[in-house]
Structure 1
Amino acid sequence: MIGLLGAGSLAFSIYYTADSAAQAYFVTPTRIWEFALGALLALLLGATQFTGRWGNLLGWTGLAMILGSAYLYSELTPFPGWTALIPTVGATLLMACGGRDSWTGIHWWFSMRPVTAIGDWSYAIYLWHWPVVIFLPYLLETADLWHVKVALILGVVVVSALSTRFFETPLRRAKILLPTWRTMVAAGVGMALVMALAHYSVERVEQVFTASDLSEDHPCYGYRALANPDQCGDPFEGTQGLTPSAADVAAQPQEPVHPGCQAGADDDGVPECWLGALASEADGTIAVFGDSHATMWLPALDEIARDAGKRLLVLTRSGCTPRAATFVEADDPCGEANLEILDRLSEDDEVETIVIAASQMMGGFEGPDVEVDLPDSEVELTEQGRSVITPIQVWLDAEKEVVVLGEIPRLNLERNATETLPECVALNEDDPAACNDDLEDTWVSERWLTQSQDVFAEAENYHFIPTEDLLCSEEEATCYAVLGGAITYNDNSHVSQNFVRSVTAELAERIEPALQG
Structure 2
Amino acid sequence: MDSAGPGDRATYRADIDGLRALAILLVVVYHVWFGRVSGGVDVFLMISAFFLTASFARRLDAGRRLGVGRYWMRKFRRLLPAAAVTMLGILAASLLVYPSSTWPAIWRQTWASLLYLQNWELAFTNVDYYAREESIPSPLQHFWSLSVQGQVFIIWPLVFLVVAVIARRARLRASSLLVAAFGAIFLASLVFSIVETSSRQSFAYFDTRTRLWEFAAGSLLALLLPRFAASPPVRAVLGWMGLAGIVTCGIALDVQGGFPGYLALWPVLSTAAVILSGSGPSRWGPAALLSSRPLRLLARDAYALYLVHWPVLITWLVVTDRTSVGWLAGGAIIAISLVLARVLAAGVEEPMRRLRRLDGSAWRGAVAVVACVAVVAAPLTLWQWTERARVAALAQDFAGSYPGAMSLLPGADDVPDDVPLWPDATSLDDEWVALDGPCRDLYAPTDPLVAETCAETRSDGWVRDLVVIVGDSHAQQWAGAVLPIAEDQGWDVVALFKGGCSFALEEPPVDGVDDCPQWRDGALAFIEELRPSMVFGMATKSLPESADERALGGLEATVDRLRESGTSVVLFRDNPRFEQNIFFCVESAGPAAPECRRPREAVVAAENPASLVRGADVVDLVDHLCPDSWCLPVIGNVIVYLDHNHLTHSYARTLGPVLAARLTAIGKLG
Whether the aligned pair in 1 keeps the contact of 2:506 and 2:553 (CA below 8 Å) is no
The match for 2:205 is none
1:404 partnered with 2:586:
no
1:436 partnered with 2:590:
no
Q: Equivalents in 1 of 2:349, 2:502: separation in Å?
A: 64
Residue 16 of structure 1 deviates from its aligned partner by 5.4
Q: Equivalents in 2 of 1:188, 1:397: separation in Å?
A: 63
For the residue of structure 2 that corresponds to 1:221, the secondary structure is coil
The match for 1:143 is 323
Post-superposition Cα deviations, 1:87-138, rounded to whole Å, max 9, x if no partner, equal 99789858965427355x4534422455445434534543443344323444
Whether the aligned pair in 1 keeps the contact of 2:456 and 2:492 (CA below 8 Å) is yes
The match for 1:293 is 474
Q: Call closer, same or farther: CA 1:203–1:425 in 2, change over 3 Å.
A: farther
Q: Equivalents in 1 of 2:643, 2:298: separation in Å?
A: 39
Whether the aligned pair in 2 keeps the contact of 1:323 and 1:387 (CA below 8 Å) is yes
Residue 356 of structure 1 deviates from its aligned partner by 1.1
Q: Call closer, same or farther: CA 1:158–1:18 in 2, change over 3 Å.
A: closer
Q: Equivalents in 2 of 1:243, 1:308: separation in Å?
A: 27
The match for 2:332 is 155
Q: Which has the higher contact order (CA 8 A, sep 6+)?
A: 2
Residue 494 of structure 1 deviates from its aligned partner by 1.9
The match for 1:325 is 506
Whether the aligned pair in 1 keeps the contact of 2:245 and 2:267 (CA below 8 Å) is no
What is the aligned-residue identity percentage?
18
Residue 228 of structure 1 deviates from its aligned partner by 6.0
For the residue of structure 1 that corresponds to 2:402, the secondary structure is coil
Q: Equivalents in 2 of 1:452, 1:289: separation in Å?
A: 17
The match for 2:668 is 515
Q: Please, which of 500, 517, 532 is the counterpart of residue 335 of structure 1? A: 517
The match for 1:72 is 254
Q: Please, which of 233, 246, 259 is the counterpart of residue 425 of structure 2? A: 246
For the residue of structure 1 that corresponds to 2:668, the secondary structure is helix
Task: State the Cα RMSD in Å.
Answer: 5.8
Whether the aligned pair in 2 keeps the contact of 1:222 and 1:503 (CA below 8 Å) is no
Judging by fraction of residues, say which structure has more helix. Answer: 2
Q: Equivalents in 1 of 2:375, 2:565: separation in Å?
A: 68
Q: Call closer, same or farther: CA 1:326–1:226 in 2, change over 3 Å.
A: closer
Q: Call closer, same or farther: CA 1:88–1:336 in 2, change over 3 Å.
A: same
How many residue pairs get matched? 459
Counterpart mapping for 1:399-478 below 5 A: 400-411=567-578, 413=579, 415=580, 420-428=581-589, 431-434=590-593, 436-440=596-600, 443=603, 450-453=608-611, 455-456=612-613, 462-470=616-624, 472-478=625-631
Q: Call closer, same or farther: CA 1:96–1:280 in 2, change over 3 Å.
A: farther
Q: Call closer, same or farther: CA 1:116–1:439 in 2, change over 3 Å.
A: farther
Residue 463 of structure 1 deviates from its aligned partner by 2.4
Whether the aligned pair in 2 keeps the contact of 1:300 and 1:503 (CA below 8 Å) is yes
Q: Equivalents in 1 of 2:406, 2:434: separation in Å?
A: 25
Consecutive unaligned residues of structure 1, counting only runs of 5 or more, are 182-186, 262-266, 363-379
Counterpart mapping for 1:98-113 below 5 A: 98-99=277-278, 101=282, 105-113=285-293
The match for 2:655 is 503
Consecutive unaligned residues of structure 2, counting only runs of 5 or more, are 1-67, 76-112, 132-137, 161-217, 358-368, 440-446
Whether the aligned pair in 2 keeps the contact of 1:13 and 1:29 (CA below 8 Å) is yes
Whether the aligned pair in 2 keeps the contact of 1:223 and 1:499 (CA below 8 Å) is yes
Q: Call closer, same or farther: CA 1:197–1:353 in 2, change over 3 Å.
A: closer
Residue 249 of structure 1 deviates from its aligned partner by 0.8
1:133 partnered with 2:305:
no
Q: Call closer, same or farther: CA 1:57–1:259 in 2, change over 3 Å.
A: farther
Residue 51 of structure 1 deviates from its aligned partner by 8.2
Post-superposition Cα deviations, 1:229-265, rounded to whole Å, max 9, x if no partner, equal 9665346x5x311444202214655x9555657xxxx
Query: What TM-score do the two structures reach when normalised by structure 2?
Result: 0.52
The match for 1:122 is 302
For the residue of structure 2 that corresponds to 1:501, the secondary structure is helix
Query: What TM-score do the two structures reach when normalised by structure 1?
Result: 0.64
Counterpart mapping for 1:191-202 below 5 A: none
The match for 1:283 is 464
Whether the aligned pair in 1 keeps the contact of 2:481 and 2:655 (CA below 8 Å) is yes
Post-superposition Cα deviations, 1:276-323, rounded to whole Å, max 9, x if no partner, equal 445994333222221111123334433423432333232332211222
Residue 465 of structure 1 deviates from its aligned partner by 1.9
For the residue of structure 2 that corresponds to 1:220, the secondary structure is coil
1:32 partnered with 2:172:
no
